Amino acid sequence: MTTDRAQATNESLDPDWRRYGQALLHAMAEVRAETPEDIHAVLMETADYWLSLGLAIGTEHPEMASRLLRLIETEEPELVELNADAQHFVAEALG
């Protein structure tokens, strides 16, 4: 992931970080299933980075985050599905 926690063993991770990591793994399960195992660590680190970037933008510049989201998901059904996925991820990651 994006911090030194990537070097830690799973047993030494605090419960919040472990829950976040598990939520990220579950969210990326389909992607991981379609890719070679030897690149999973890079995929997870990349996903963690972009998720962190999106959260930073959303926190500091919510109007820009809304504009970016509209650029990414121009179709209403996809946006509704993305919002549902986001709610599920937050519930899993934060408990």
Domain count of the fold of the chain: 1
In which domain, by residue range, is 57 found? 4-94
Q: How far is CA 76 from the centre of its chain?
A: 21
Q: pLDDT for 36-47, tens place per residue?
A: 999 999 999 999
pLDDT at 33: 96
Q: pLDDT for 12-66, tens place per residue?
A: 679 999 999 999 999 999 999 999 999 999 999 999 999 999 999 999 999 999 9
pLDDT at 73: 86
Average pLDDT (65-93) is: 92
Q: Report whether 44 contacts 24 (CB < 8 A).
A: yes
